[in-house]
Amino acid sequence: MPDIAVYPGSFDPITNGHLDLIQRALKIFDRIIVAVATNAFKKSLFTIEERMEMCRVSLADYPTVSVDTFDGLLVKYATGQKARAILRGLRAVTDFEYEFQLAMMNRRLEPELETVFLMTGLRWVFLSSSILKEAAVHGGDIAGMVPEIVFQKLREKFGLLK
């Protein structure tokens, strides 16, 4: 049975930091499911369909990575996918407290499901989807921080592509 990890997130949008984490996690897991969350309480820039498309295109070169969507409890989704782990990235100490709380709640709900934390690559430690969108909306040069499809979609979204 393959070792499967679920990598959940809003991926609004997916960044090169996410891709770096996935590439490194593939050295640990046989298969990774990028699980794009549909969170009714969070306002997203991109629709769920747009986010999934950007993820699929960005991950097309990785046959053992699939993209799916989920709503509701992550642990229920992960166990339904026969995953043995939830994959999470940590950028800085500020991420740790929130991620620790989530991991402990997930363990309480589903004790057999582990949470695996990977530190973000040093090159991407500053990068978050929120910071990226803030730079893009003001015309900042985000080239090289996101896959090409995301770069184009952000330019379109903010009217920077003529």
Q: Which of 51, 58, 84, 129 is catalytic?
A: 129
Q: Which of 27, 42, 138, 162 is catalytic?
A: 42
Instruction: Establish whether 138 is a catalytic residue.
Output: no
Question: Each residue of 31-61: b (16+ CB within 10 Å) or e?
Answer: bbbbbbbeeeeeebbbebebbbebbbebbee
Instruction: Establish whether 129 is a catalytic residue.
Output: yes
Report the C-alpha gap between 122 and 53 in whole angstroms: 27
Instruction: Establish whether 123 is a catalytic residue.
Output: no
Q: Which of 24, 56, 91, 107 is catalytic?
A: 91
Q: Which of 10, 18, 51, 58 is catalytic?
A: 18
Asked if 22 contacts 62 with a C-beta cutoff of 8 angstroms, the reply is: yes
Which DSSP state fits 97? H
Q: What are 46's two structure tokens?
A: 């991109």
Q: What is the CA radius of gyration of the chain?
A: 16
Task: Return the closest-CA partner of residue 125 out of 8, 11, 15, 10.
Answer: 15
Instruction: Establish whether 157 is a catalytic residue.
Output: no
Q: What are 125's two structure tokens?
A: 């430690």
Positions marked catalytic: 18, 42, 91, 129
